[in-house]
Amino acid sequence: MTAAVQLTNEYPVPERMKAWVLGHPGEILPVEKPVPQPGPAEVLVRIDAVAICATDLEIMQHGLPAMVDGGLPFNKNFTIGHEYMGTVVKLGPAVDEYAVGDRVTVEVHAGCGRCARCRQGMYTSCLNYGDLAKGHRANGFTTDGGFAQYAVNNINTLVNVPDDMSDEEATLVVTAGTSMYGLDVLGGLIAGEGVAVIGPGPIGLLGVAVAKSLGADPVILTGTRERRLELGKKLGADYVVNVRLENAVAAVKRITAGKGVQFVVECSGAPDALDEAAQMVDRGGRICLAAFPHEKVLVDLAYLVRNNIYVYGIRGEGQSATHRAMALMKQRRFDARLIHTHTFPLDELPTALRYARERVDDAIKVVVRNQA
């Protein structure tokens, strides 16, 4: 005899959803779209919270670095937003790595998995970037992102969220993962080595936090805004330097008794930042560029060569850095929540974007929520 079991679905998925899409440059519009369906190795995520990133603002104005169908993303019914978390509500065929109801946060890039770079774990530099037919996805860059109620995600982009972590905090894993990846590409930090971080934006601030929690000593943060520098201290900076009051290179030399630091993570994008970073590191030191100027810049290359200084660029958060960042956040090695300043409902996305763009009320990370 078969018991009449009533299966209830806790997460009924509608046919259509609310989403925001890019119109003309600078324009974002509310629409209804079909809810996407997960394919093999994918799940459908109900988006619960999304953090706004400076790159979202860049894409809204200029299109790049988002690329849709080989061109700019405007007026293509395209949804941006890439720093999101949510709940798994549907599994693609043969997916058993996650279950319906799991809380997950999502990293941006699912590489194609078949090119040489993906095979090395460098999936943010996938050689088939933007080739959807080959399986590449980058949420909010080449495929629909998180300013919507649902999004499809490759299982390789998911990170489990601990029960006691808020939705807002979980959205910050991509930022922390980017900082972590920066230290990875530098060859890995050894406890006791000195790190200077230039620029107290979200990646710089969490760069301080990650470096400190990996044992860097000292951690020095340079910037112009006093309130950001104070936050840097709370996140683990041993020293902060207000470059309006003291030359950044002189300060690093003073703090390190003339030796300089072993690593610089450059997060400002200032035109002279690489030259400055070169003066901050010791001979043989390493510099990671995690931000970029909009114009070409003149650099003292001879100084770099003569001093055997290594310069690395990073894109995003490869090598599963988000998983390692989450491990540190879960263990409360630092409090990423300090950089979350504002929350708005998804319906008020344009206001939230304005807060982020104009830094209204000292906004750092502005989060929009889908769920009450």
111 binds Zn ion (CB under 5 A): yes
Toward Zn ion, which CB reaches closer, 139 or 149? 139
Q: With contact defined as beta carbons under 8 Å apart, do 35 and 152 qualify?
A: no
Q: At closest approach, how far in Å is the CB of 6 from Zn ion? A: 43
Q: Which residues pair with 365 in a beta bridge?
A: 340
- The torsion angle over the Cα atoms of residues 170, 145, 316 and 223, rounded to 10 degrees, is -70
Number of amino acids touching Zn ion (CB under 5 A): 8
35, 118, 186, 328: residue in contact with Zn ion (rule CB under 5 A)? 118
Q: Within 147-166, which residues bind Zn ion (CB under 5 A)?
A: none
Cβ burial of 335 (10 Å; 0-12, 13-18, 19+) is middle
Locus of tokens 């708005």: 344
Residues in contact with Zn ion, shown as a per-residue x/- string from 252 to 291 under the rule CB under 5 A:
----------------------------------------
Q: How far is the CB of 128 from Zn ion (least distance, A)?
A: 5
Name beta bridge partners: 106: 158
Of 110-118, 189-197, 219-227, 343-351, the window that binds Zn ion (rule: CB under 5 A) is: 110-118
Q: Which of the stretches 69-77, 117-125, 256-264, 359-367 binds Zn ion when contact is defined by CB under 5 A?
A: 117-125
Tell me how far, at minimum, the Cβ of 181 lies from Zn ion, in Å. 12
Residue 367 touching Zn ion (CB under 5 A): no
CB nearer Zn ion, residue 128 or residue 247: 128
C-alpha of 31 from chain center: 26
Phi, psi at residue 300, to the nearest 5°? -80, 80
CA dihedral 159, 165, 168, 172 (to 10 degrees): -50
Between residues 103 and 136, which has the closer beta carbon with respect to Zn ion? 136
Q: Does 321 contact Zn ion by CB under 5 A?
A: no
By the rule CB under 5 A, 53 interacts with Zn ion: yes
Q: Which is nearer to Zn ion, 111 or 218 (CB)?
A: 111
Nearer to Zn ion, 197 or 261 (CB): 197
Tell me: does residue 115 bind Zn ion (CB under 5 A). yes
Q: Rounded CA gap, 241 and 15, in Å?
A: 53
What is the x/- site pattern for Zn ion, positions 55-94, by CB under 5 A?
Answer: x---------------------------------------
> In the complex, which residue's CB is closest to Zn ion?
53
Please identify which residue in the block is written with the tokens 């910050």: 172
For residue 209, state whether it binds Zn ion (rule: CB under 5 A): no
Helix axes 321-330 and 202-213, enclosed angle (nearest 10): 70
Q: How far is the CB of 154 from Zn ion (least distance, A)?
A: 12
| 123 Cβ contact list (under 8 Å, min separation 6) | 109, 110, 111, 113, 117, 156, 318
Q: Which of 21, 59, 106, 112 binds Zn ion (CB under 5 A)?
A: 112
From CA 96, how far away is CA 94, in angstroms rounded?
Answer: 6
Question: Strand 103-106 and strand 109-110: pairing?
Answer: unpaired
**Piece of the chain touching Zn ion by CB under 5 A; list 45-53, 67-75, 196-204, 266-274:** 45-53
C-alpha closest to that of 199 among 265, 245, 253, 250: 265
Name the residue among 240, 163, 44 with its Cα closest to residue 231: 240
Helices H, strands E: what count in the chain?
11, 17
Q: Looking at this protein, which amino acid is placed at residue 271?
A: P
Residue 262 half-sphere exposure toward CB, CA atoms < 13 A: 14
Output 253 or 357, the one with its CB closest to Zn ion.
357
**Residue 201 or residue 218: which is nearer to Zn ion going by CB?**
201
Nearer of residues 127 and 299 to Zn ion, judged by Cβ: 127
Q: Quick check: 126 binds Zn ion (CB under 5 A)? A: yes
Q: Judge whether 102 and 44 are in contact, CB under 8 Å.
A: no
* Span from 107-115, 246-254, 264-272, 277-285 in contact with Zn ion (CB under 5 A): 107-115
Q: Which span (37-45, 46-54, 292-300, 360-368) binds Zn ion, by CB under 5 A?
A: 46-54
Instruction: Point out which residues bind Zn ion (CB under 5 A).
Output: 53, 55, 111-112, 115, 118, 126, 128
